[in-house]
């Protein structure tokens, strides 16, 4: 029989001792997150809590940085079963929240999670800090422990002390560009806020004011272009121009798009065209899927990276034109293999990779899945307080979920689950496991026929069968997308070759992958 050790009485001297130790930890060396994590460990130990979480809030992003249970670190599955509703209430209200079944304030999530008492309180940092807010959360999962008023008072008092200490913090924040605020794209601090990206945070911050080229690597759907764009927008260099040239195999098309052309340069050139390099002068040029560039186009880009000069098609000037452009490139392909095979120039690689950033796949950062899913829900429906059930959290973080589409797949799956929830109940506020995987809830539906039985079917029966058809369609679309992405990767990222392998028009392949079928200009 396992017995639970009774925590020591929390006396007034013990409370003062804990607060003194808290101040010492706040004044110790380290980042804000490290000091806050140390404070959480002290609170969990002093309060004899079963579980403690530190949640960082940057913009609309919320991420668990540290999760403790006595002297051990909680697993993702363990901390994902904290009461998110209590944490959200503390974030929104800006006040400490205490919920206890002993005083009739036990929420439904506490009942579902078998929590006897839970407390959450926000702390704030200085106005200049990249950290907007943090939330401390602790809970007690057994009713036989002696939880006194001193436990609650110490928790609230500690959070106030921490807030006062952090108000002195002057860690500079990356300025939020007006373009990001207007478009709703996540800002750089928000993208880098997950704990799994801590290894990238310092390196990316050092790049904000720099001018050296950056190469962003990672699997499809990990958010490489999003990171590249946020980095470019956070810098003082503008404008930001995005180039998607890999979908074309024609050198003239690529040259015209990149460097422009003069009137009459080729058949159909009835006017002068300004290239992306000229548009990006003084700012940043982002190359999507740099590995897709054909060899001759790689030579043109190499010359530009070496000398900063270029010649538009049909340009007859004695001296080439110049452009001051920072290059940020991204690819999901295997550059090492491409260079070994001679498909990508090694000298160009060294020109583009002064700094290389590797974005990890979602399966290696499962602790971020639930916060990301909640952030996607808030972005989709900011006026509705969506929540994920325990079953939904367990499903999302399951080791069996491989997430081949990474963040893009998660976003699509959450959006589709929201549609299913609203179809079941237009007033829905909760996503459950069957919304994320409807096939596990019902047997496959047959296609309705024009029989008398269907003619007399209830409206709910029709809705049920329609939802099943939509679920099957969504599953097929996800399988097709995964197949096509693997196919393109197998052919070194060259869409034309991949399309020929399955006898599919290249434009159709590109369209089904969600990329633009022809080169286009997209600034900012």
Beta carbons within 8 Å of 375's beta carbon, 6+ residues apart: 60, 61, 62
Cis peptide before 239 (omega within 30 of 0): yes
DSSP lists the bridge partners of residue 53 as: 67, 137
The DSSP H or E segment spanning 89 is: helix 84-93
What 8-state DSSP symbol labels residue 313? B
- Token output for 506: 């290249």
Give the model's pLDDT for residue 116: 78
Residue pLDDT tens, the chain, 524 long: 333 344 457 888 888 998 999 888 888 877 777 788 888 888 888 888 888 888 877 666 677 777 776 656 677 767 777 787 888 888 888 888 888 755 445 556 666 666 778 888 887 654 444 456 788 888 887 766 677 888 889 998 888 888 887 765 544 444 444 444 444 567 888 888 887 888 888 899 889 988 999 999 999 999 999 999 999 999 877 789 988 765 566 778 888 888 888 887 777 777 888 889 999 999 999 998 888 888 888 998 999 998 899 888 888 888 889 999 999 999 998 999 999 999 999 999 999 999 999 999 999 998 889 888 988 898 888 888 888 988 898 889 888 888 999 999 999 999 999 999 999 998 898 999 889 886 544 333 343 444 444 445 555 566 667 767 777 777 787 788 888 888 888 887 777 778 778 877 666 677 677 644 334 333 33
Give the model's pLDDT for residue 103: 47
Beta carbons within 8 Å of 217's beta carbon, 6+ residues apart: 224, 330, 331, 332, 335, 356, 357, 358, 359
For the chain, give the number of residues. 524
Map out the domains of the chain with their CATH numbers.
12-166 (3.30.450.40), 181-359+517-523 (3.40.50.300), 364-490 (1.10.8.60)
- Token output for 464: 């049920």
Give the model's pLDDT for residue 284: 93
Q: What is the DSSP string of 362-390?
A: GGG-GGGHHHHHHHHHHHH-TTS--EE-H
- CB burial of 450-467 (b: ≥16 within 10 Å; e: otherwise) equals eeeeeeeeeeeeeeebeb
Give the model's pLDDT for residue 248: 61
Give the model's pLDDT for residue 447: 39
Measure CA 167 to chain center. 28
Specify the residue for token string 């796949």.
361
Q: Among residues 418, 365, 396, 376, which one has the least CA distance to residue 61?
A: 376
Give the model's pLDDT for residue 440: 45
């Amino acid at each position: 029989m396992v017995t639970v050790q009774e925590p020591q009485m929390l006396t007034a001297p013990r409370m003062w001792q804990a607060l003194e130790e808290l101040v010492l930890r706040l004044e110790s060396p380290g980042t804000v997150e490290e000091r806050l994590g140390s404070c959480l460990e002290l609170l969990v130990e002093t309060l004899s809590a079963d579980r403690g979480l530190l949640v960082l809030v940057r913009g609309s992003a919320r991420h668990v940085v540290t999760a403790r249970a006595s002297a051990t670190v909680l697993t993702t599955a363990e901390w994902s079963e904290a009461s998110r509703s209590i944490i959200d209430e503390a974030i929104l209200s800006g006040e400490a929240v205490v919920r206890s079944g002993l005083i009739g304030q036990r929420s439904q999530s506490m009942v579902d999670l078998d929590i006897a008492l839970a407390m959450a309180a926000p702390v704030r940092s200085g106005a200049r800090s990249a950290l907007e807010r943090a939330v401390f959360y602790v809970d007690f999962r057994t009713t036989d422990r002696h939880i006194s008023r001193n436990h609650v008072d110490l928790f609230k008092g500690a959070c106030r002390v921490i807030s006062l200490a952090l108000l002195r913090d002057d860690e500079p924040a990356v300025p939020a560009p007006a373009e990001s605020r207007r478009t709703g794209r996540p800002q750089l601090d928000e993208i880098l806020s997950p704990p799994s990206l801590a290894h990238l945070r310092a390196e990316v911050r050092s790049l904000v004011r720099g001018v050296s080229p950056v190469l962003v690597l990672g699997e499809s759907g990990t958010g490489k272009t999003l990171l590249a764009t946020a980095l470019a927008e956070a810098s003082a260099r503008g404008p930001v121009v995005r180039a998607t040239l890999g979908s074309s195999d024609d050198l003239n098309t690529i040259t015209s798009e990149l460097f422009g052309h003069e009137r009459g340069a080729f058949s159909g050139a009835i006017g002068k065209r300004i290239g992306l390099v000229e548009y990006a002068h003084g700012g940043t040029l982002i190359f999507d899927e740099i590995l897709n560039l054909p060899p001759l186009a790689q030579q043109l880009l190499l010359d530009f990276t070496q000398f900063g000069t270029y010649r538009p098609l049909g340009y007859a000037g004695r001296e080439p034109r110049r452009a001051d452009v920072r290059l940020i490139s991204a690819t999901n392909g295997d550059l090492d293999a491409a260079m070994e095979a001679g498909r990508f120039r090694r000298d160009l690689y060294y020109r583009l990779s002064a700094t290389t950033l590797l974005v990890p796949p979602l399966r290696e950062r499962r602790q971020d899945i639930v916060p990301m899913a909640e952030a996607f829900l808030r972005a989709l429906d900011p006026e509705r307080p969506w929540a994920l059930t325990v079953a939904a959290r367990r499903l999302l973080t399951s080791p069996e979920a491989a997430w081949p589409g990474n963040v893009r797949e998660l976003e699509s799956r959450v959006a589709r689950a929201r549609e299913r929830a609203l179809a079941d109940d237009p007033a829905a506020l909760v996503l459950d496991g069957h919304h994320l995987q409807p096939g596990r809830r019902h047997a496959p539906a047959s296609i309705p026929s024009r029989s008398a039985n269907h003619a007399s079917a209830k409206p709910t029966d029709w809705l049920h069968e329609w939802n099943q058809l939509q679920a099957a369609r969504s599953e097929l679309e996800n399988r097709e997308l995964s197949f096509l992405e693997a196919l393109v990767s197998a052919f070194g990222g060259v869409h034309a070759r991949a399309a020929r392998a399955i006898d599919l028009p290249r434009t159709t392949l590109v369209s089904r992958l969600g990329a633009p079928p022809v080169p286009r200009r997209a600034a900012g």
